[in-house]
Amino acid sequence: MNEFILVETHDGTTSFRPGDLVEGTVRWQLPGAPEEIELRLFWSTEGKGDQDLEVVETVPFHNPGALDRRTFRVRLPAGPYSFSGKLITLRWALEAVAQPGDHAGNLFLTVSPTGEEIRLHR
Amino acid sequence: MRAGDNPFTVQKVRKIRYRLSGETWEGLLERLAKLRYRAAIVGPHGRGKTTLLEDLAPRLEALGFRVRSVMLHAGDRRLDREQRQVLLRHLSPRDLLCVDGAEQLGRISWLALLARSQSAGGLLITSHRPGLLPTLLDCETSPELLEGIVRELVGSETDGRQIEELFARHNGNLREALRAMYDVWAGAGR
C-alpha cells in the first residue's frame, strides 16, 4: 500500500502575503487509523547556526480514518517574512503529522509582502 | 547560494548518524551489557560522541530501558536542579542514565552521581577523557570518514585532497570541518 500524507492549498498557491488566509486540504492514506492528525503552521530557520522554530498555529483533525481527507483554514501572521541569505534561510511550512508514529507530509510556503522570498544577497 | 540550499547546514549535518567502524550495533550493545551498562564513550571534540549516545538511546529503549538524558556544557561543575530531576527522581533498575559531557562535573558532583546511579539500571556517559567509567568506545575519525560524510551530504564525488587538508586543519574534529565546508560552499556561490 502506498502510504502518504499530502498537504495542498485549494488552488495550488504557495506564495502568500502576511495576514493572508491559507485554505487547503490534507489527504492521507495510512496502514491504520491514527489517533489524531495534526496540521501545524510554522516557520523555521536553516543555515550555519542552530535552528529557530516557532509553531504559529495547530489544527487537530479528530477521529481520522486510515484513508481520509480534511479541509483547513489558517491565517498567516504579520511575520516573519520568508528570506534567505548566505548564513540563514527562514521558511514557512504547513506540516501534517499523524500521531502516534512518524508519518508526516508538508508543504513549504513563501510569506512576504511581495509574495516572493526576500533575498539578502545577490 | 541560499543558506537553505547549502548541503552543510547544521540541520542537514545533524541528520548524519554515527557510523560504527568494525563493529555492529548488536556487538556494541553486548559489550555494554557486559559492562553492566556502566560505561563511557570517549573522545575529543567533534568525534561523534553525542551522536553515538543519541543513536544508542532508542536501541536501549528497545531493550526495555527508560533512557534519562542530560547534556552538560563547559563550566557545568554540577547538575542543576532540573537536571537532577530529569536524571535522578524516583530511580529504578529500569532507568538508564545518559550524561553527555560528564567530564564537566566536579569531583564531588561526579562521585555523588556515581553513588545515586547505583539505583539505576545503568550509567552511560560521554567524556573527553577516559577513566571516569570503563570505556565502551573511543570515538575516532579519519579523512575517509569525513569524505564519506561529505559525499553523502553533497551527493557527488569529492576532492580527496581538499578533504585531507580539511581534516588535518581541524585536527580530526569533524564538526568543525563540516562547518568549514559550509563556508566553502557559501563562498563559492554555487
In this prediction, residue B189 carries a pLDDT of 54
Contact B3 A51 (CB under 8 A): no
Give the number of other Cβ atoms within 10 Å of residue B50's Cβ.
18
In this prediction, residue B159 carries a pLDDT of 86
In this prediction, residue A104 carries a pLDDT of 96
Residues in contact with B105: Cβ distance below 8 Å, sequence separation at least 6, in sequence order? B72, B76, B77, B78, B79, B99, B113
Q: How far apart are CA B89 and CA B98, in angstroms?
A: 14
Low-confidence ranges of chain B (pLDDT < 50): none
Contact B9 A47 (CB under 8 A): yes
CB-CB neighbors (< 8 A) of A47 in chain B: 3-4, 6, 9-10
pLDDT band at A2 (very low <50, low <70, confident <90, very high): confident
Residue B146, CB half-sphere, CA atoms under 13 Å: how many? 29
Rg (CA), chain A: 15
Q: How far apart are CA A83 and CA A63, in angstroms?
A: 37
Q: What's the whole-number average pLDDT of chain A? A: 94
The CATH label, of 2.102.10.10, 3.30.420.40, 3.40.50.300, 3.90.1150.10, for the domain at B25-138 is 3.40.50.300
Q: Which three cell numbers stand for residue A111?
A: 510569506
A94 sits in which H/E element:
strand A88-99
- Measured in angstroms, the CA of A85 and the nearest CA of chain B are apart by 6
- Which tens digits make up the pLDDT trace of B119-154? 999 999 999 999 999 999 999 999 999 999 999 999
The residue with cell 528570506 is A83
Tell me which of A44, A50, A83, A87 to substitute to probe the interface with B (most B C-beta atoms closer than 10 Å).
A87
Domains and CATH numbers, chain A: 4-114 (2.60.40.640)
In this prediction, residue A100 carries a pLDDT of 86
pLDDT band at A61 (very low <50, low <70, confident <90, very high): very high
CA nearest to A52 within chain B: B11
- Measured in angstroms, the CA of A41 and the nearest CA of chain B are apart by 19
- Measured in angstroms, the CA of B190 and the nearest CA of chain A are apart by 11
Q: Which of residues 9-28 of B touch A (CB under 8 A)?
A: 9-11
Distances in Å between the alpha carbon of B183 and those of A22, A71, B7, B9, B190?
A: 36, 42, 11, 10, 11
B56 sits in which H/E element:
helix B49-62
Q: Is the pLDDT score of A38 beyond 60?
A: yes
User: What integer is the mean pLDDT of A75-92?
Assistant: 96
Closest CA to A50 of B3, B155, B58: B3
pLDDT band at A122 (very low <50, low <70, confident <90, very high): low
CA nearest to B190 within chain A: A86
Q: How far apart are CA B9 and CA B179, in angstroms?
A: 8
Determine phi and psi for B90, rounding to 5 degrees: 50, 60
Contact A49 B6 (CB under 8 A): no
In this prediction, residue A66 carries a pLDDT of 95
SS3 A66: coil
DSSP at B3: G
Contact B3 A89 (CB under 8 A): yes
Q: How far apart are CA B175 and CA B14, in angstroms?
A: 10
Contact B182 A48 (CB under 8 A): yes
Q: Which of residues 159-188 of B touch A (CB under 8 A)?
A: 179, 182-183, 186
CB pairs under 8 A between A and B: 40
Nearest neighbour of A86 by CB, restricted to B10, B179, B186: B186
In this prediction, residue B125 carries a pLDDT of 98
pTM: 0.84
Q: How far apart are CA A111 and CA A79, in angstroms?
A: 8
Q: Interface pTM (ipTM) of the complex?
A: 0.73
- B71 at the A interface (CB within 8 A)? no
Closest CA to B140 of B165, B172, B163: B172
CATH 3.40.50.300 in chain B, residue ranges:
25-138
Q: How far apart are CA B55 and CA A49, in angstroms?
A: 22
pLDDT band at A102 (very low <50, low <70, confident <90, very high): confident
In this prediction, residue B157 carries a pLDDT of 79
